[in-house]
Structure formats: structure tokens, C-alpha cells
A and B are shown apart, each in its own frame.
Chain A
């Protein structure tokens, strides 16, 4: 009779968090969508047949950008606090993140108001209008979705439902917000620097 080999013992077993994997996958997909809109924007730079042209009407939104990018810092600080169980501090930084995001949206609204009513640039005016409002609008939509999520979480926090146990989930959500900010870096560069 041949000897039956002894089954090897399985070693330690750890797997990545499914929430993190899912969010990173979602971010990958979203990046592809943004890439297509960015490519369209870049391809059509300088190809508008009629004015207004970017150099004429675009002002660099420095303040807006600083607010949005700072919100990545504040959300990171919030993540650190909930990791330590400091819910009050978490809520404070979280609220500040929302505030910064809202300032960004208000700033965008003001910019668009000027472009539409004073400069006469709409999505149908020319190629610049089409690609600008599509790309910046797509990003703004993602900011709005992020703000809704952030606000819901703030609501749950203020009503006492969020604890240190939810730290992992908060970090997964924060990944989305970091993504939105990273996309803004790209959009900002393409629209306000390269394209002007």
C-alpha cells in the first residue's frame, strides 16, 4: 500500500476588504469615462469655428481649486479621527469638508452664470462650449453626488449612529472624494492651463 501524503496545513489567511476593492473598481470605471471626455476636450482645443474662445472668457478658478483640494486634506484628517474613535473631531473635519465642497460648487455656479449670461457661452455655442460644459459638468455632477453622500454621513454622525466600527466604510467613501479631487486636478490642468 502506498503511503497517503499528509494534507498540508493551510497558513494564515487574509483577504482585502471587499468595500475597498469595489470602490477602487468603481473609480477605475469612472476614470475611463472622464478620460473620454478629457480626450474629446483636448482634441477640440482650437477647433471652434466661432467665438467665444477660452482665452477670452475663462478666468483661472484659483480660490475654488484651493477649496476643493483642501477638502481632501480635511477629509483625511476626519478619517484619522474616526480611526481613533474621536467622533466629535471627526464630525468637525467632516463638516468642514462639506463646507469646502459647497464653496467649490457655488464658485462653479458663479463662473457658469458669468459665462452664460455675460459671455454668451452655452453648450450649443461652439465646440469649446460643448466640451467645456460637458467635462466640467460631469465633474460637478460627481461633486454633487459626493456632497450628498458626505451630508448623509454627517447626518448619521450627528444623530449618533456612526462609531469607530464604521471607520473602514468611511475610508472607502473617502476614496471616492479623493478621486473627485484628483479628477479636478486633471480637468483644471486641461481646461484652464493647457486649453487656454
Chain B
């Protein structure tokens, strides 16, 4: 067929040597100056996985301190630094980096392009994000701060005013928080711009917008959302620094400034931010679930519309984090409605995944195990979100462990599970070797059990009145045993993640060879060798449907016969 331009086996320059034989410095130099989207994607992911372990260690420290009332494992000052850094790290240095890392790696491959639209901007963005993270962690050793415990941020990842004013936070903890995130934020902006420009301008022939893989769609929507989400945080942090160093009064309640304005600005960032984190996870699920159900995704156009809908509605729900600050009843009511409405497109997605599974031939490989757990867990997370959207009930549950349980159900139960799914699914493409399936199943089940032990229990201790951000609790409130279970679950999750880290390293050297297409999948990245050559495609692909490889594998029943 004259139009066939995908590489034909045997005529390509095959995978370059797995390990460079050049000197170590030259190899390192290659990684430092690279502008190749695949290498930058891997850098992002390695960076993110490293900080996953760091943030996880912070969580374990928190849970040891809370395992029993009156523990002296962490001083109050250090505890406050731990939960602030845990939150800040997981959101900015783990979630954003790993997910944008996947975007970097996969978007050009999935659209048949050679690289991102702006490779040098790509490199610049990575290094900005990386330096931001290092600046944040330098705070542990950079100066003595308030109590001699280093100057790591200790004001909560939400950094409410006026606690962050110089009067209440002398020392540099808050400054590290603001500056590190401003720097990292520039990196995020650069990547977001890059992803949008790439998807707009670098698609291969025949790939109309409605033929892009859903992962690409979700990354484009995420990037668009990022543009107007991270920037309000940057603005608010600049205002905070003006208050702290130039004598400004943005949040200075003594001068007539408003603490509530900080809350509004922070949550105008903070709520869409969680959608920035979860939308790529949806993208992963929308790639993995079809392949392991052996069916096309059900309702592709609705999935696209729902994603765009979620992004838009998510911009109008932020004050559901502020139901207790004293907004008017009308204000509260509005945000109840908007928050409930964002559940509708989200529910549509869950139903579409369910319908994809329905009538399929489900293969329980490790990526699919994580995705299946994701679906049920995300359903629960959405339902506890609905509970929290009911303002009067929120007046009880706000700032309690119920909220922590809810958002960890989303961040861990949905996002981290899908990150694991994504790694098991695409690691073979990136390295040429499969991750060990048995170790993977151990990882999955241990993590699943630990996750539920911790976060299911946490809902209940919230019902019993336990607030968040406390370094210890009273022994006569009925919270003791539940906290112990929560902590044990945390340790189990920690073991699971260590198993996973071992799997990553071990399989790199000893894993089974993957070949181009170990999962029998249908999108363009599976058409190239594993790992792909630097130029990705030997010849620019031409596609005629949403699943170009399905068309090749099923020439008698191609997708383009059924797509509009």
C-alpha cells in the first residue's frame, strides 16, 4: 500500500547500545545538555520518583509520631516542617514532575512527531523545576530559622496568612517556600506552553485533533489549565514576598489587609491544581484500560468533552475549601452547586471506563491491576468529595482527618496508582525491558492493602473529630487505636514502594526483553523500537483513525470504517 509509511521491520537502524561505552563524564554531560524530549521525560520521572521516596519518608515520620498519643519522635516544630514539606513535595516535586515527565516522553511519540515544539525551552523548564525543588530542600540546612531546626517551611503547604507574615514567621522558612515554588512554577509554565504548541503544531499527517490519543488530549487540557492555575499562585507568592520584604500590606490584617484574600488566591490555584494532577492520571487510565480490555475506549468524544468540561468547571469551585471562613450563605450555596456539577463530567469518565471493560477480555497484568484499583478508588474519592461539597457537613469535616482521607484517596488512590500503572506500562518502551511481573504483583497487593488500611481508617478518625495539622492528640478521645492502624498501613505502603524501587533498578539490568509492542497496543509509540531511536520515527507516520496500529493489525476491520 503506497500510503504505508510506518517503519517496516528490518530496515531500520536498530536500538543503540543499551549502556553508553563513552566515559562516565561524557555520559553525564549528555544527560545534562540534552534537549531530547525522551531524555528530559526520564529526567523528570527519575527526579519525581526520588522525591516520592523523600516525601514518603516524611509521611512515615509523621505517622510514627501519630501512631500513639504523646509520642516524642518529632518535636512540634519539626512535625510542622514535615507535614508542610510532605504536602509541598508530593504536589510539586512528585505529582507535577512525574506526570509532566510522562507527557514529555509520550506526547511527541503519540502524535508521530520528532520532538516537542521547543526542545530548548523543554530543557530550560526541566532545570528550572529541578532547581526549585533543590532550593526548597536546601531550606533544611540553609540557616537556623525559628527554632534551630533548619528553616524548612512549616506553615502548611497552603501557607495561610497572617501566619506567614514576618511577625509570626520570622526566619526564612516561608521565603524558601515562596521562592522555590516561584522558580519551579516557571518551569511548569514552560512545559505547559510546550505541550500545547506541540499538540497544536506537530501532529503527523491525518492526526486531526479528534484522532489524538486520549492521553495527549488530557495533557493538552491539563497544560491549558496549568497556564491559568499556577500563575495565580505565583502572583500570590510575589504578593507575600512584597509583604514580607517591601513592607506591603496585601495580607496584613493590621493595616486593613485581608487574610481571606490569600485564601481566595491560594485556592483559585489550589483547586484547579488538583485537576492538573488528576487529569493526566485519567489520561493514563484511558490508554491502559482499553488495551487490557481488548476494546476501544467507549465514548471517545464524550471523554474529550468531559475533560474540557472538568477543566472549565474546576475553575469555579475553589471556595469549597473555605466554607468555614464566614462567606455569606449565598456564596456558600453557589460553591455547593458548582462543586456538585464538577462531579458530573467526572462521573461520565468513570462510566466510560466501566463501559470499556464491559464486554471485553480483561487481562490482569500489573498495569491493569493498578488501573482497576484506580477506578474503584477514584469512585470513592469522588463520593467523599460530594460529601465534602455539602457545606453544612463540610462545617464539621473541614480540616479534619476526613479531608485528609478524601484527598489522599485522590492523590494516592487515583493518581499514584495510575502513575504506577503508567510506569509498568511504558517502562518497557523506555528501557526495552519489562518490569518483573511477580514483583509487580507483590508491589500492587502490598500497596493496595496498606493504602486501604491507612486511608479507609482515616475517614473514621475524622468522623470522630480529629483535626489535621496536629503533632499529637489527647489520649481520651477514642483516636488511639485507629491512628495505630493508619500508621501500620503507612509502613506497609512504604515497603511496597521500596519493592517497586528495587524492581525498577533490577529489571533495568535483568528484565525480559520487551520488543516494540509487548502489550499488543494500538497507539503510535508502540510502532517504534524500545527504547526509541533519538529521531523517533524513521519516516513521518500517516494515520487514518484513533488507533493506527489496530488498523495495521486488523486490515479487514479498521477503525476508520467506524469513526466519523
In the complex, is A directly touching B at CB under 8 Å?
yes
Chain B: minimal CB distance from A70 (Å): 29
Q: Which of B233-241, B378-386, B424-432 lies at the interface?
A: B233-241
Is B118's beta carbon under 8 Å from chain A?
yes
Which residues of B have CB within 8 Å of A9? 3
Interface contact A29-B231, CB-CB below 8 Å: yes
Which residues of A have CB within 8 Å of B232? 32-33, 35-36
Interface contact A33-B197, CB-CB below 8 Å: no
Is A30's beta carbon under 8 Å from chain B?
yes
> Which residues of A26-51 have CB atoms within 8 Å of chain B's CB atoms?
26, 28-33, 35-37, 40, 43-44, 47-49
Chain B: minimal CB distance from A29 (Å): 4
Which one of B242, B246, B258, B542 lies within 8 Å of A43 (CB-CB)?
B258
Provide the bound-state CA to CA distance between A61 and B118, in Å.
40
> Which residues of B206-242 have CB atoms within 8 Å of chain A's CB atoms?
206, 223-224, 227-232, 234-236, 238-239, 242
Which residues of B have CB within 8 Å of A91? none
Is A13's beta carbon under 8 Å from chain B?
yes
Which residues of B have CB within 8 Å of A31? 228
Provide the bound-state CA to CA distance between A29 and B233, in Å.
11
Which residues of A have CB within 8 Å of B231? 29-30, 32-33, 36
Which residues of A have CB within 8 Å of B238? 134
Main secondary structure of the interface of B (DSSP, over half): helix
Is B336's beta carbon under 8 Å from chain A?
no
Interface contact A25-B196, CB-CB below 8 Å: yes
Q: Which of B89-97, B280-288, B514-522, B555-563 lies at the interface?
A: B555-563
Interface contact A28-B227, CB-CB below 8 Å: yes
Is A21's beta carbon under 8 Å from chain B?
yes
Which residues of B have CB within 8 Å of A16? 200-201
Is B256's beta carbon under 8 Å from chain A?
yes
Is A18's beta carbon under 8 Å from chain B?
yes
Known contacts: A49-B256, A124-B248, A127-B249. The answer to whether A18 contacts B228 by CB under 8 A is no
Provide the bound-state CA to CA distance between A157 and B250, in Å.
44
Is A194's beta carbon under 8 Å from chain B?
no
Known contacts: A18-B201, A22-B117, A48-B256. The answer to whether A134 contacts B228 by CB under 8 A is no
Known contacts: A26-B193, A49-B256, A126-B255. The answer to whether A4 contacts B200 by CB under 8 A is no
Interface contact B196-A15, CB-CB below 8 Å: no
> Which residues of A115-159 have CB atoms within 8 Å of chain B's CB atoms?
122-124, 126-127, 130-131, 134
Is B1's beta carbon under 8 Å from chain A?
yes
Provide the bound-state CA to CA distance between A124 and B189, in Å.
30
Known contacts: A8-B560, A18-B201. The answer to whether A43 contacts B255 by CB under 8 A is no
Interface contact B3-A127, CB-CB below 8 Å: no
Which residues of A have CB within 8 Å of B558? 5, 7
Is A2's beta carbon under 8 Å from chain B?
yes
Provide the bound-state CA to CA distance between A127 and B252, in Å.
9
Is B192's beta carbon under 8 Å from chain A?
yes
Known contacts: A13-B206, A15-B200, A49-B256. The answer to whether A33 contacts B249 by CB under 8 A is no
Is A110's beta carbon under 8 Å from chain B?
no
Which one of B247, B268, B551 lies within 8 Å of A124 (CB-CB)?
B247
Which residues of B have CB within 8 Å of A5? 555-556, 558, 561
Is B205's beta carbon under 8 Å from chain A?
yes
Known contacts: A4-B555, A13-B205, A37-B235. The answer to whether A29 contacts B255 by CB under 8 A is no
Interface contact A10-B3, CB-CB below 8 Å: yes
Which residues of B have CB within 8 Å of A36? 231-232, 235-236, 265, 268
Interface contact B261-A43, CB-CB below 8 Å: yes
Interface contact B117-A134, CB-CB below 8 Å: no
Closest A residue to B232 by beta carbon equals A36
Interface centre among B223, B243, B250, B542 (most CB of A within 10 A): B250
Is B203's beta carbon under 8 Å from chain A?
yes
> Which residues of B542-564 have CB atoms within 8 Å of chain A's CB atoms?
542, 544, 551, 555-556, 558, 560-561
Is B331's beta carbon under 8 Å from chain A?
no
Chain B: minimal CB distance from A56 (Å): 17
Is A17's beta carbon under 8 Å from chain B?
yes
Which residues of A have CB within 8 Å of B551? 7
Closest B residue to A43 by beta carbon equals B261
Which residues of B have CB within 8 Å of A37? 235, 239
Provide the bound-state CA to CA distance between A139 and B118, in Å.
27
Provide the bound-state CA to CA distance between A22 and B249, in Å.
35
Which residues of A have CB within 8 Å of B230? 29
Which one of A8, A21, A127 lies within 8 Å of B196 (CB-CB)?
A21
13 example contacts (A-B, Cβ-Cβ < 8 A) are as follows A4-B555, A5-B556, A10-B544, A15-B203, A18-B200, A21-B196, A29-B192, A36-B265, A40-B265, A43-B261, A124-B248, A127-B256, A134-B242
Q: 8 closest Cβ contacts across the A-B interface?
A: A124-B247, A18-B201, A36-B235, A32-B231, A29-B227, A10-B206, A32-B228, A130-B248
- B residues with a Cβ closer than 8 A to A are 1, 3-4, 117-118, 189, 192-194, 196-198, 200-203, 205-206, 223-224, 227-232, 234-236, 238-239, 242-243, 246-250, 255-258, 261, 265, 268, 542, 544, 551, 555-556, 558, 560-561
Contacts A21-B197, A126-B256 aside, 20 further interface pairs with beta carbons under 8 A come to A4-B555, A7-B4, A10-B3, A15-B200, A18-B117, A18-B202, A21-B196, A22-B118, A25-B224, A26-B189, A28-B227, A32-B227, A32-B228, A36-B265, A37-B235, A40-B250, A123-B242, A124-B248, A130-B249, A134-B250
